[in-house]
Amino acid sequence: MYANIAERIEVVAEGCAAPAEAVEVVVYSKPSCMQCQMTYRALDGKGVPYRVVDLTEDTEALAYVTEELGYAAAPVVVVGGRDHWAGFRPDEIDRAAAGLLEQGVLAEEVRS
């Protein structure tokens, strides 16, 4: 597999034929979801830009998360379309932020 998230982000960016800055973080979420709120706060605290998709309003996104990725709980976080996890995972958020920082997507002063 990959040694760290930076390596995974680099591979994803190369696979997408897009610059690392184009690597998107998507949080598939549900209203009133405490783990989702905690994930937003942690991503915000690390300065990681992300897009939220409400699974209760987007049936295609729900099918993607449940059928293609195999998750049954929110949030589901997808980095670069390939790296993903479910639930509030500070360890994964830290790795994603470190990888984005290493790739030059995040500013140095945002780290905490």
Least confident of 7-11, 16-20, 43-47, 94-98: 16-20
Domains and CATH numbers, the chain: 5-110 (3.40.30.10)
Is residue 13's pLDDT more than 50?
A: no
For helices 34-46 and 90-102, give the axis angle rounded to 10 degrees. 30
What letter does residue 110 receive in the DSSP assignment?
Answer: G
Summarised one tens digit per residue, pLDDT across range 58-83 is 999 999 999 999 999 999 999 988 89
110: left (phi over 0), alpha (psi -120 to 50) or beta: alpha
29 neighbors 74 (Cβ within 8 angstroms)? yes
